[in-house]
Amino acid sequence: MILDRFKLTDQVAVVTGAGRGIGAATAVALAEAGTDVVIASRTEAQLDEVASRVAAAGRRAHVVAVDLSSPEAAAALASTAVAEFGRLDLVVNNVGGTYPRPLLETTAEFLEEAFRFNVATAHALTAAAAPSLVASGGSVVNISSVMGRLSGRGFAAYGTAKAALAHYTRLAAADLAPRVRVNAISVGSVATSALEIVVGNPELKAKMEAATPLGKIGEAEDIAATVVFLASRAGGYLTGKILEVDGGLQSPNLELGLPDLS
């Protein structure tokens, strides 16, 4: 049966940034596909709620409340997964993000921080997990962004970091082939807390939807379903690829209104 290729029965995953939004939806989707999960983010109460949803799907969740802006903290999740569940099959590098900022207000330190939070943490966890993933024939899924390939004012730090994460995906895939697959998702506008200001503003939301070819804002489950595909045998012939799950965007659908320099 073709649907059997989407199953992840008795596998183990680490999902970062799993307290809400895409990370939470991914953890639950993986559980529904048969996976036990290590879920990590700053807020333990949010993780506990996600863990209850994982349990309702019949799988186990191990909660790690930690500041994942530290690459060392991210790397430690690999050994945590093996200690708790005895193996590791999948890493989902979801944690990341950087506030928009005009170019001339983007300091070198701000750019370095964006790179560390979006790229260095993903690398640290991927490298720490690699021996276990080689043993299990596992995979890595990185969560990048449409702003890593599109140009919009105010996104110099965020877009640069996400573009770096996308190319890191290609390079890591080459280094870890053939035992470990590494892919990424280029995420468009998705209804999470990061877009709360948009979702709660009908006029602004309508403008973004009108600027999106599919005419709507995405859902966290759209990304979670893509993670399941990439992690499963259904996506087993993909590595080093960036899947664009963005409603068809060819240009930004949100303008920050930053003025020309004078």
Rounded Cα distance between 227 and 89, Å, is 13
In angstroms, rounded to a whole number, what is the distance separating the alpha carbons of residues 216 and 189? 9
Q: Tell the residue number behind the tokens 């430690």, with chain if given.
A: 76
Cross-strand bridge partners of residue 61: 37
| SS3 at position 198 | helix
158 part of the active site: yes
Angle between helices 21-32 and 220-231 (to 10 degrees): 50
d(CA 20, CA 95): 11
Angle at the Cα of 181 from the Cα atoms of 176 and 185, rounded to 5 degrees: 120
Catalytic-labelled residue, pool 99, 158, 168, 237: 158
Spatial CB neighbours of 108, under 8 Å, sequence gap ≥ 6: none
Catalytic residue positions, numbered? 158
